[in-house]
Structure formats: C-alpha cells, structure tokens
Amino acid sequence: VGPEALLSWKSKRTFTSFGVFFLQMGWGDLGVFGEPSKETPNLDQMASEGMLFLDFYTANPLCSPSRAALLTGRLPVRNGFYTTNAHARNAYTPQDIVGGIPDSELLLPELLKKAGYTNKIVGKWHLGHRPQFHPMKHGFDEWFGSPNCHFGPFDNRALPNIPVYRDWEMIGRYYEDFKIDLKTGEANLTQIYLQEALDFISKQQASQQPFFLYWAIDATHAPVYASKHFLGTSQRGLYGDAVREIDDSIGKILKHLQKLGISENTFVFFTSDNGAALISAPKQGGSNGRFLCGKQTTFEGGMREPAIAWWPGHIPAGGVSHQLGNVMDLFTTSLSLAGLQPPSDRQIDGIDLLPAILQGKLIDRPIFYYRGNEMMAVRVGLYKAHYWTWSNSWEEYSKGIDFCPGQNVSGVTTHTQEEHTNLPLLFHLGRDPGEKYPLSFASDEYQRTMEQISVVVQQHKVTMVPGEPQLNVCDKAVMNWSPPGCEKLGKCLKQPKSDPKKCFWPH
Amino acid sequence: VGPEALLSWKSKRTFTSFGVFFLQMGWGDLGVFGEPSKETPNLDQMASEGMLFLDFYTANPLCSPSRAALLTGRLPVRNGFYTTNAHARNAYTPQDIVGGIPDSELLLPELLKKAGYTNKIVGKWHLGHRPQFHPMKHGFDEWFGSPNCHFGPFDNRALPNIPVYRDWEMIGRYYEDFKIDLKTGEANLTQIYLQEALDFISKQQASQQPFFLYWAIDATHAPVYASKHFLGTSQRGLYGDAVREIDDSIGKILKHLQKLGISENTFVFFTSDNGAALISAPKQGGSNGRFLCGKQTTFEGGMREPAIAWWPGHIPAGGVSHQLGNVMDLFTTSLSLAGLQPPSDRQIDGIDLLPAILQGKLIDRPIFYYRGNEMMAVRVGLYKAHYWTWSNSWEEYSKGIDFCPGQNVSGVTTHTQEEHTNLPLLFHLGRDPGEKYPLSFASDEYQRTMEQISVVVQQHKVTMVPGEPQLNVCDKAVMNWSPPGCEKLGKCLKQPKSDPKKCFWPH
C-alpha cells in the first residue's frame, strides 16, 4: 500500500473510533504466533484481516506501569509509575498503594475528549484507586471494572475485597457480588465485560459519536477463570479456557463493529501489558513461545508482546510488520488518527505508527527495557544490549519463585543484579531471539554495534528527567475499605489507622 | 468436509501423484508456526491453502532412521535402522557404515512402481551407500543427489569427498564439482535440486504418468549454505538464508504443479526428519519453538515436526489437524491414495491419514519415541510418558555438545541415562508442551493415565520383533572411494584395507 492510502484516509476522514484490547497474554498464547493447540481462531482471523506486529513491546514487564505508559505515551520512569525504594524493582498498584497517576499527566482519553470522543474503560484501571486517581477524573466518561487485580477472596478485615465500579461508584465486590470460584475456576466476568463493550459500541454508533474503548479486562491474570460455557474446552487447561473466552469475545466485538457498519471507521489494536506469567505455569500461566523468561523480567519473554492492528478498508489484510513498536505508540497513533498533536510540553516516548501500518514504512527507533528506576536493556535494530541482568533474587528463587522455569542461560538469567554497563551483553535477536548466545566482546560486530547503541543510550540518559515516583509508599488505611457508593450497598468497611511505610518490592 | 469428499475422490480418481518434501527444519522455523522473523511466505501459504498438522512426529530424532521409516512405514527398530552397540544410541549412515536398507524391506517406491508410478529421489538418500543399497535397487527410477550428508571438504586420503549421483552413477563430488564455500556459506545446490524437481514434474506431466517425487535435500543440515541470491537476505543469518531459499523453492514447485494443471492430482506433504539441530545454533541451527531440546533427543524439540498437507480441490484450505501423525504415515497414506494395500506380511506402523485429512477425523493411535534400541517415551492422546530420559552424556556435554542450550529441566534433561520404567515421568502436552512440569505421581490424573498408557506400551513391547540392526559395523574400506561412474570422471580413489569395527555412537 502506498502513501495514497494515508492521504486518501486523511482527506475523506470524518472520524475514527478506537478500540484497544489490552490484556495479559503471552506472545506464545496465540495460534497465529505458534501456540501448538491453535485455539484462538478469532485473534488469528483478526491478524489475517489486519496486520501482525512481530517486534512489538510493552513499556514495562509489569501491569500498572505498562497501563500508565499506554495511556500517557510515556515511559513509567517519566510518568511516575515506578519506585526508588530499591534498585531496579518492579512495582505496581496493590490495594495499599498511596500513589497513582499524577494530575500533571495528560492521558489519551483527556486529549481525545477535546476532539469530541466518548471514552470508556472496561476492566482493570490499575493507575491508583484513591479518589483523585479515578479514571473519570482522567478523561474517561464511563468505567465498568475494578481499580486493582482480582486477587482474593479476602476477609474484609485484614484486607477488603476489591470493588467493582460502574462509573463513579462501586456496585459490588469481587467474590461477594461478582463470583469467582477458585476451585472450579468458574466466573462470568469476561461475559459481563464483553456485554459492556458491545452495549457501549451500540450506543456510540446510534449517536454517531466517535469513541475510545479501552477493553483492559483482568483475564488471563491469575487467579485464572472462565465462564461455564468455556470451562474444560481447551487442551491447555483452565488458562486455555480463559484464552478461548477472550478470543471468542474479541471475535464478537469485531463482528459487532462490522454488523453496525462502523468497522471501517474503527481502528482496533490488540496487545498485552506484559509477557505471560510463567510463575503461574502450567495451570494458570501462559506462554511466551521461544522467548526467554516471562513477566517481571526484561528478557524478551517479559516484554515482547503479541500485537495486531485491525482496520478493514485501510490496513491491508494479512500484513506483517517488523516495525519496532511499543504500547506507548498507541497514544501517539490514536492522537494522529483523531487529527490531534501530542502534547509538546513534555517528552512523549510513543511514536505515530500510521506510516508503518498504512505505508509499510520502517521507522528507526530504540526500545528501552526498564525495571523500576533502571534501564536494564535497549534494542536498536535487531540488536539488544543488556546493561543489567536479573531474573530474581536467590532468596525469592529458593522459595520456588521462578520467572524462567526450565530456562537457564549462564551469565544471563542471573539471580543477582549484574551490572554490565561497561561491557553490555549483546544479542542479535534475528539469529538468536531466545537470548542464549551473547556476541563475543572481541568481535567486530560487537564493537561496531555497541558504538551505535552507546550513542542512543547516552542520548537517552542525558535527556532523561525522571518523574516523581508514585509507587514508593504503602498504607493499609488507603485500601478499598469504603469506596464511593459503598453506603448505598451497605458495603463500607472500617478503615484502620494510617501507617504509611515504604512499600516492599522484592522483584 | 464430509465423507462424500473421500468418496467422490475415490470414484473419480484416475491417478494421484505425490510430492514429499522431507527436510531438516524445526517446528519453530516456519512463520506459520511462530518464527518471529516470519520469512517463509511460501510454506505459510501452503499451510493456508492446505492443512496444518500440529501434532506430527518423526520416527526418530536422527536423519537416516527417519528416512528409512518414511520409506518403509516402519519404526527403525523394525526396519534395521538402529544399533545395538550400546543402549539407546542414535545411529545413522556415515561414510564408513557397512549396513543399509535390507532387501527384505519393501519401500514405498517399490510398491508404487507396481501401480505404474515413476519415482524420483532428489537429494540425500541416507539409507546406505554401498551398491546393494542404491535407491534405484529399492524402487526409485531416478536419483539426483548424494548418499550421505555433505560434510567436508575432505582430503580424499583419510576420507573421500561425498559423491553426487545422477541415477546409477556418480557425476562428481561435493566441494570438488559441486562447490560449497564454507567461509561465505555460498552453494548453488538448492537451485540445482529445485531444477531437478521442476524438470521431473514437467516430464511426468507431458507423459501423463503418475509420479512420486521425494525431495529430500540436504539443506538446512550443517554445514549450512544458500545460493548467492539468498545470502544475507534473512534476519536470521545464514541459516535463515537457507530456509528462505528452500521456502522459495517449495513455492516454485507448487506453482509449477498449478501452472501445469496437475495440482489437483498431486498430493503434497511437507515435513522434517528431526527437530532443529540446536547444537549448531545460533549460526547454523534452527528453532524448535517452545519445545524442549532438539535433534538427537526424544523430547518434543527432537521429534515434533512442522507438517503441512496440500492438495487443492481435496483438502479444505486453512485446515488444522490435531491428529497424532508420523512420517511413517506417509507410506500408508500414499499407498491408500494409489489404491494399494500396505504389505500384510509385516508390521506396518504408519496409518492412513486420509480420514484425518479429508474428513477431519481423529484416529486414536500412540506415538513411540525411540532412541536406537530403546523406547524412551510414548504419547497417548495429550499425555506423554518418559520411560527413559537422556540428553547426552556428561562427557560429551563437558566438550560443549549441548542438545538443550539454555534449557535445563531438573530430572528431565538428564546427562545420565535415567530409567523411569517403574514410574514414568508423565507430561500433559496440552497444558505443558515444553515438558517442564511432570505430573505428580500421587495424583489421580497420573494413576488413571498411566493405567491406559501401560496397556499400550505392554502391547507394543510384547509384539515387537526387532529387525537385524544395520548400523553396528563401520569400516573405512566401504567409504565412497570408488563409486560407480568414478572411472569416467577419473575420480576413483584408493580404498584402504578392510578393517570392520563396531561403530562408536556417543549420543
């Protein structure tokens, strides 16, 4: 497809809606990426009708920071979704987190709103659960879902069960009003989230308003669940059942867009917030295919994500792109599609992917792999340089916490934080996508490549202005004891005395 | 597709030709199976026009026995392609091997010949290079290729270079007359083998004769090569260049069938003789995706193979099958397509896959994983039980020979031969295709499953009549010193004195 595709779309554009499916699924969980059970016919079809991204990354190997990065277009180290409590630690937003998304950050829905978009989040917000962080204070017009992961059930004394919100107020709690049976794995949640998406799309279509639907549901995060209809239907066990239900739901949403005749006005993107959590495998964990390790790590298994762009009539069917992409690009790309400019008063890390998607261009840009406050690695072209390596600590590993089960690459999957800044470990991801064979330090290829990469890294580091870290302080008093709306439901709980502490982040 | 497809084909059948592409490519080497560079557009298209087999196996994790199994429809332990020199050792046909395919074995081309087929082998024969084992003494009408792997160059004193045959006689030797530049990786061989295939098909089409084309070329076996046009074109390095050239060649062969109007009369199958040789990675080795280990082992990475069936107008496009398949099935399936019965005077291990291919049936059958004279493992349904585990010896491993680089599953990828016959290690390949999490011996699932598997194994063992082992004796005198035709070329070499010895098989 030539530049005329982009031009013709720009000239005849009225408006383009967006759907973003943002889930926790590993690269190797999709049939189209080689999952041997091949149980994702709808995602596979989405890929065959759209464009598959093979070199697409998340901004962080953990959920909250990735979600903050997608919605701000900025690295977590800039938007505050990281910790300085210890070096290179993953942090997120459990119930006792005091911080959340700062008001100073401009979120995608805030910007789209100015262009007349209606924005809805279905699923896990994860950018802070205290009142000032509410998604509807940050540009969303509607919300159905929860602020935190669906861990539980809790006893409502030491820990409250996680609330589920409709818009401004809670309407119940997980395990109490929204059942999850941990024994059988049955829960109807994905069906509820599906219906929310379908209804929202119908409403927007009826009112002819452009929309941004952010479908960021909890599944397949552990504890894994699926609804009755899907239980026991996968070769892969409960995790596979959950994947099949999500796949089915995405198929239904796409078909709904087509049925309503708005698929050519709706840009849809599917990707994931981090690699599959191998720690939960085999029963509750997915697959990162042949990539090294998983969630929590800055190896490819932790951060390379399945990614599909779908926009019938615009994106050529069956396309494949090697563009280095990042979830932060969805921010800039969506703005571009809406005819908006990204904010110019701050560093935006996301790039506009439209030239890659519509014209097949390859835009030169690096990928940075952060763990907390540390740039662990960088990818430039096909090369990836590790400046730091760490899987997890010996202490955690000896407890059975293993982010790389069955994998052990000497000097690479280290259980102490190893610094390589003077002589980074360099991999060629084309010949060695599994990060098993570091290039010889003495080789010409190493010397030549590191010269290029060093410039990119230096440029990145000297211009880096880290944001105020939001994930440092934890306090039991801020938990979801009495979310707005709890009174009407008689679900307010007694809040313990405030006792702020440094959060402990072991990974 | 219903049973009528099979019936209608049977009623209107005049003849069906066969093409079998039998290469050394790993599961993870094809884009359609998730190779992240996605550089196999022709094989991917073959899959989208035909049927993908996701649970397809070779009969042995090494080349010669697999090839013997394909052509005889029988396990190597039956057809003689194994050794009893030591326990559970892989053996093949190097230049000094005394044995080869016994006359008592009935090969697919021998049987097809009786039904009027013309049979050609292009590439590596590998079933013995002494005169009595010549492929044209075993049913082939034409041969272009070599009897052994393209190792070399040799000095023609300690070792002769491998001859290349046209039909009965040699026409040159590798490295001498058929150049392979080990420094640049350049060799024109795949192009020559491609032309042989195209010419044969044209000739057969012109004479309206059914044919069996066995395209069993050397690439991507190490030393890896590609022709100039393909060198440097892959993200994956030289190995990827070789894969791209093979992919291109297969695309050309399929298009040739279509152009000649005989694609609907030609059943084509693509598969591999063993898993990718991880020992040659990253520069000369491929990928087995997320499967454990590679060539030489009885883990999934050693024996689960990419497999595609293609037969336009008969096989529904884009089909996917979970039928447990094996290269030995190509023997029985081809006979079935030719309207022939398999021999009834011997045990045939291959089954007729047509009901799976044309009617979507799933036929219950086990897969046996042999290493030499030992049944190491068995798959029944989604379960795989390891009766023996071994990657390779500590001695070999300490020399840097690693069949499972970067992988280490405690108690599974063992460096001593571990017997588990009393309490086999059991894996669920749906939930755990990477063989990382053996089921608990105490679980109901283990007990229930092993009861079923034990019956299958007992039945297999009590009825097993091993063939006379062909791969026990080696002798320098039998090397390719003076193959037929050498006189005309002035390429006869002096044969050393006969000194037969037990072959040494370290793996």
CB pair distance less than 8 Å for B431 and A406: no
- Which chain A residues touch B322 with a CB distance below 8 Å? 37, 235
CA distance B200 to chain A (A): 34
* Beta carbons of B291 and B301 less than 8 angstroms apart: yes
Number of H helices, E strands in chain B: 13, 21
Structural tokens at position B231: 């060198």
> What is the token pair recorded at B441?
């011996």
To the nearest whole angstrom, how far is the Cα of A402 from the nearest Cα of chain B?
12
Least Cα separation, residue B482 to chain A (angstroms): 40
| Confidence (pLDDT) at A367 | 98
- Contact between chains at A240 and B407 (C-beta distance less than 8 A): no
Binding residues of A for Ca(2+): 63, 273-274
A314-A320-A323-A324 Cα dihedral, nearest 10 degrees: 120
Quick check: is A63 catalytic? yes
Rg (CA), chain B: 22
Q: Rounded to an integer, what is the distance from CA B305 to the centroid of its chain? A: 9
Residue with tokens 């892989």, as numbered in its chain? B90
pLDDT tens-digit series, residues B446-456:
999 999 999 99
Q: Where are the beta strands (DSSP E) in B89-162?
A: 118-123, 142-145
Are B481 and B108 spatial neighbours (Cβ–Cβ below 8 Å)?
A: no
Give the DSSP letter string of B367-428: EEEEETTEEEEEEETTEEEESEE-S--HHHHHTT--SSTTB--TTTS-SS-EE-TTS-EEEE
Measured between CA atoms, the residue of chain A closest to residue B239 is A431
Interchain contact A36–B (C-beta under 8 A) = yes
Q: Which of A497, A451, A488 is nearest to A170 (CA)?
A: A488
Whether A415 is catalytic: no
Q: What is the pLDDT of residues A234-247, one digit of tens each?
A: 999 999 999 999 99
Could B432 and A34 be called an inter-chain contact, meaning their C-beta atoms sit closer than 8 Å?
no
Q: Which member of B28, B405, B407 has the closest CB to residue A34?
A: B28
pLDDT at residue B430 tops 60: yes
A437 in contact with B at a CB cutoff of 8 Å? yes
Of B52, B406, B428, which has the smallest distance from its Cβ to A408's Cβ? B406
Query: What pLDDT score does A7 carry?
Result: 53
Say if residue B18's pLDDT is above 60: yes
Query: In this complex, do B282 and A436 lie within 8 Å of one another by their Cβ atoms?
Result: yes
B325 CA to chain A: closest CA distance, Å?
A: 14
Q: Is the pLDDT of residue A280 over 90?
A: no
**Is-contact A303 A272, C-beta < 8 A?**
no
Contact A437 B52 (CB under 8 A): no
- The closest of A61, A10, A30 to A301, measured between CA atoms, is A61
Question: Closest Cα of chain B to A235: distance in Å?
Answer: 5
CB B298 within 8 A of CB B244: no
Mean pLDDT of B430-452: 97
Would the pLDDT of B9 be above 90?
Answer: no
pLDDT, position B1? 41
Half-sphere exposure of B422 (CA within 13 A, CB side): 1
Task: Residue window 373-392, chain A: list those with CB within 8 Å of chain B.
Answer: 382
pLDDT in tens, A449-491: 999 999 999 999 999 999 999 999 999 999 999 999 999 999 9
B410 pLDDT tier (thresholds 50, 70, 90): very high
Of B19, B169, B86, the C-alpha closest to B371 is B86
CA distance A411 to chain B (A): 11
| Chain B residues in contact with A234 (beta carbon < 8 A) | 430
B16: pLDDT confidence band, cut at 50, 70 and 90?
confident
pLDDT greater than 50 at residue B428: yes
pLDDT digits (tens, 9 = 90+) for A372-423: 999 999 999 999 999 999 999 999 999 999 999 999 999 999 999 999 999 9
Q: Is A282 on the interface with B (CB under 8 A)?
A: yes
The pLDDT of residue A1 is 41
Centre a 10 Å sphere on the Cβ of residue A366 and count the other Cβ atoms it contains.
16
**A window 443-462, beta carbon within 8 A of B:** none
Query: CB distance B281–A320 less than 8 Å?
Result: no
Q: Whole-angstrom Cα distance, residue B10 to residue B196?
A: 31
**pLDDT band, residue B280 (cuts 50/70/90):** confident
The minimum CA-CA distance between B433 and chain A, rounded to whole Å, is 8
Q: Are A83 and A503 in contact (CB under 8 A)?
A: yes
Q: Token pair for residue A51? A: 């464009």
With CA atoms as reference, report the closest residue to A276 among A237, A254, A238, A304: A304
- Do the beta carbons of residue A85 and residue A113 sit within 8 Å? no
Contact between residue A331 and residue A464 where contact means Cβ atoms under 8 Å apart: no
Residue A73 has pLDDT above 80, yes or no: yes
Residue in the structure block whose two tokens are 């336009």: B312
Please name the residues between 154 and 193 in chain A that touch chain B, using a CB distance below 8 Å: none
Nearest Cα residue to B112 out of B316, B306, B331? B331
Q: Annotate B285-322 with b (16+ C-beta within 10 A) or e (fewer).
A: bbbbbbbbbbbbbbbbbbbbbbbbbbbbebbeeebbbb
CA-wise closest residue to A234 among A24, A42, A34, A36: A36
A400 touches chain B (CB under 8 A): no
Pairwise CB contact (< 8 Å): B437 & A281: yes
Chain A residue numbers with beta carbons less than 8 Å from the beta carbon of B382 are: 235
* Of the candidates A94, A105, A22, the residue with the CA atom closest to the CA atom of residue A58: A22
A405 touches chain B (CB under 8 A): yes
pLDDT of residue A281: 86
pLDDT in tens, B216-267: 998 899 999 999 999 999 999 999 999 999 999 999 999 999 999 999 999 9
Residue B199 has pLDDT above 80, yes or no: yes
**Contact assignment for B54 to A36 by CB distance below 8 Å:** yes
Of 3.40.50.920, 3.40.50.1370, 3.30.1120.10, 3.20.20.140, which CATH number belongs to A370-463? 3.30.1120.10
Give the HSE-up count for residue A102: Cα atoms under 13 Å, Cβ half-sphere: 16
First-to-last alpha carbon distance for chain B, in angstroms, is 45
Query: Which chain B residue has its CA at the smallest distance from A428's CA?
Result: B236
Chain A residue at shortest CA distance from B291: A290
Sign of CA dihedral B298, B300, B301, B305: positive
Rounded-to-integer distance, Cα B5 and Cα B319, Å: 14
The residue among B52, B46, B48, B49 whose CA lies nearest residue B251 is B46
**Intra-chain end-to-end CA distance of chain A, in Å:** 45
> Is B64 in contact with B125 (CB distance < 8 Å)?
no
B395 class by beta-carbon count within 10 Å (0-12 exposed, 13-18 middle, 19+ buried): exposed
**Is A434 part of the contact surface with chain B (CB cutoff 8 Å)?**
yes
| A-chain residue closest to B52, CA distance | A38
- Calculate mean pLDDT across residues B95-116: 97
Residues in A closer than 8 angstroms to B32, CB to CB, are 34
Tell me how far apart the alpha carbons of residues A211 and B202 are, in angstroms, rounded to a whole number.
58
CA angle B290, B295, B296 (to 5 degrees): 130
Interacting residues of B459 by C-beta distance below 8 A, sequence separation 6+ = none
Domain spanning B16-364: CATH 3.90.1720.10 = no
**Which residues in A lie closer than 8 A to residue B407 (C-beta atoms)?**
406-408
pLDDT-derived band at A14 (thresholds 50, 70, 90) equals low
Q: Taking a contact as any Cβ pair under 8 Å apart, which residues of chain B between 482 and 501 contact chain A?
A: none
Instruction: Tell me: pLDDT of B7 over 60.
Output: no
| Dihedral sign for Cα atoms in the order B223, B228, B229, B231 | positive
User: What are the tens digits of pLDDT across the range A168-213?
Assistant: 999 999 999 999 999 999 999 999 999 999 999 999 999 998 999 9
pLDDT band at A131 (very low <50, low <70, confident <90, very high): very high
A34 CB within 8 Å of a chain B CB? yes
Structure tokens at B160: 């002769």
- Which of B281, B283, B430 is nearest residue A235 as measured by Cβ atoms? B430
The residue type at B288: N
What pLDDT sits at residue A2? Answer: 47
Which of these, B392, B36, B21, B273, lies nearest to A289 by C-alpha position? B36
Domain ranges in chain B are: 16-364, 370-463
